[in-house]
Each structure stands twice: as structure tokens, then as C-alpha cells.
Amino acid sequence: MAINLSSVAAQLLTPDVIAQIASFLGMDRSTAQKAAGATIPAILASLADLVGTPAGASQLSKLLSQQQGPNPIDLLRNSGAQGLAQMGSSMLSGLFGGRTVDTMAQAIGKFAGTNDNGGKSLLSVVGPLVLGMLGQQQRDSGLDANGLASLLRSQKDQIMAAIPSGLADQLGAAGLIDKTVAGARSGMATAAGASERVASGASQAAYAAGRAQWPYWLGALAIVLGLGWYALQRPTEPTVAQSPTVTRPAAGTVGLAPANLTVDGVNLANQIDSSMGTLRAALPTITDDASAQAALPKINDAIAQLDGITARAAKLSPEGRSALAKLIIAATPTINQMCDKVLSTPGAGTLAKPTIDNLRAKLDALTKV
């Protein structure tokens, strides 16, 4: 029997995991359980869309195959939710782009009753859990990029059905999923309500018309039965990641210290976000010689920032270096795509090539700290 990706990922939301997420987000565990469980199929739906193109499928497969070191659950256990969120933010931005992640975070924040920052934190914590599960499935099943894409696409209907209606409405309004799918549940609920109203009206009509009007009564009954059949045939909405009982973890399992990525008073995770943001803003502007000349100083500034990160990374603990490498690995697919586009641009590609080669060497070195 084929696996259900939403259900497999939901099993990762153990009471201990939920307790850490709730503590990190400052919400009660019941709310954290509901929000985290809803975020899982939302991420999977976005991934199913991403692999709709060969480039997206290759990007996801490459990211999963590059995952090294402890799995996300171990990272959460050892480094806390903050450490996991730092990795997740970079991974998701590398896959979807910062704007899409921000839009998704807004929708999740509204559904969960938090602000946009709360939605982004939740997305950043749950994202690595989902990607870690997919990576494990890919390795266990020996899937290549096309096989992984087929697995995700084959479960698109199941994944969409697992998104709670409130979140589906938010995602649909934001243009992240098909609005017709987002509105399916409300439409089905309307059909069910219509079935009840028709049933009531049919009974009254039959009583008033009497036995002589039995064909009309029978027609109304047929409508009721048809609507009822439609309502019964729709897929029931599964409850995602609902543990039978969420118990308080034993002392010492919550509030573990996050991975220390601060060296000499500098937070290296923030430095990476800053340098990647500079690159994502500068590289797409290169379309000719003039724009390359304008963008190269900004790219060199980002490279200088990466040099500073490399110098300080040697002072990190082994766990910190591993977490830092994961941040770089997650961000590089998008940067590499942008670099490839620049290099293929006549004139500008030749001008930018030495800088881009230097940039790629710096990024590669940081994945091996």
C-alpha cells in the first residue's frame, strides 16, 4: 500500500516536538498542534507544485540528497526550535523564494491566530521536518528526481484534502493554491445545507399537495437523495497530526539551548541571510554590460561578508558548523540558478564570470566548514 506523505510527516509531531514548538512560538500546545498539523500539507502542496517542472524537481531532489548530519528531529532535540527554524528559513527560501515564503507565512499566521512573524517561525520549524521526511522516503525508495516528483504529484489530491478549510481559504486567497480547491469545502458544505432545506421543503410540499401530487413529491425526494449522495461521496477531511493525548513531557526535554551560531558577537545565521538577500537582489538585475557593472560591487560585498563568515566559522562547535553548512546548502540552489542565467547572458556573462566563479568557490567552502 502506498504511503500517505501527510500522515507520515504528521507522525513527527510527537508531544515533545509540539511542546518545543509551543514554547518557541509562545502559544498553548493545543493551538500549536493544530497549526503545525495544518502547516504540513500546506508545505507538501507547495512542493507538489514546485516539482511540476523539471527544474523544480531537480532542485528539490538535490537539496534532499545534500542533507547531511543529524536529521531534523535530532537537530530539534539537540539545538532547540530556534536552531531548526534558522535552517528551515534558509531551506524554504532557497526552494520557493523569499516572497512566496512570506506570503505563505502570512496565510499560516492568520489561520493560527498569530502575526506574520509567528507564521514564518512556524513555517520555518515545520519545513525541515517535512523535508527530512521526504529525504528519508527518497533514500528508502531509491527515488531519483523524477521518481520523487511523481510521488508528490500522485498524492496532490490527498495533500489538498488534508489542508483544513480555514487555511485552504487563506492560501487560495493568496494565490498559493487553486482557489477552486480552496473553496471546495465551503461549496460542499453549502450543498449539504441545501440538501436539508430541500428535504424540509419537500416534506411540506408533499403534505400540502396530498397523495394526488405524488410525482412532484417523488421528484423532490430524488433531488434530496442526489444531493445527499453527492455529500456522502466527497472525501472526508482528515484530521492531521492529532495526537490522542498530548501529555506534558518530562522535565529537561523542553527549552533546550539553540545551536550557538554567534561568534565574536556576530550572529552568522543573520550574516548568511543578509549576504543571500544581497545576492538574490543583485543577480537578477544583470541583463547587459551596464547592469553587470552596477551589480558586481554588490556581489563582491556579499562575497566579503561570506569571507567573514568563513573566518568565524572555525570557532563554532561541530554542531554549529553542521547547522551553518545546512544553511548554505539550502540557499545555494536558487543562487546557482541565478548565476547560470547571468553566465548565459551575452556580454554580461563574460564580464561577471570571474566574480561568479569566486562566489561559488566561497559557497562551496562554507558547505565544508
Domain ranges of the chain: 5-182, 185-233, 262-366
Report the sign of the C-alpha dihedral through residues 122, 52, 166, 29, in that order: negative
**R_g of the chain computed on alpha carbons:** 25
Supply 83's cell numbers. 536552531
- Beta carbons of 338 and 332 less than 8 angstroms apart: no
Could you tell me the maximum CA-CA distance found in the chain, to the nearest angstrom?
A: 93
Give the up-direction half-sphere exposure of residue 116: CA atoms within 13 A in the CB hemisphere: 7
User: 365: Cβ–Cβ under 8 A, 6 or more apart, which residues?
Assistant: 310
CA distance 285 to 288: 9
**Which residues of the chain fall below pLDDT 70?**
1-2, 67-70, 178-259
pLDDT at 70: 59
DSSP class of residue 97 equals: -
Cα 92 from Cα 193, distance rounded (Å): 40
pTM comes to 0.52
C-alpha dist (Å) from residue 4 to 34, 235, 265: 19, 15, 45
Cβ atoms within 10 Å, residue 312: 18
Q: Count, in order, helices (H) and strands (E) of the chain.
A: 17, 2
Taking alpha carbons only, the member of 305, 303, 313 closest to residue 259 is 313
Q: Which three cell numbers stand for residue 140?
A: 528508502
**Residue 42, pLDDT score:** 93
Contact 106, 100 (CB under 8 A): no
| Distance separating alpha carbons of residues 255 and 276, to the nearest angstrom | 29
Say which residues have a Cβ less than 8 Å from residue 198's Cβ, sequence separation at least 6.
220, 223, 224, 227
CA angle 252, 32, 151 (to 5 degrees): 105
Element (H, E) at 141: helix 116-141
CA distance 280 to 284: 7
Residue 238 has a pLDDT of 41
Q: Which three cell numbers stand for residue 68?
A: 547531511
What confidence tens digit (pLDDT) does each residue in 200-249 have? 444 344 334 443 343 444 444 444 445 454 444 444 434 334 333 333 33
Q: Rounded to whole angstroms, how far apart are CA atoms 221 and 206?
A: 10
Strands (E), the chain: 262-263, 266-267
What's the confidence (pLDDT) of residue 2? Answer: 61
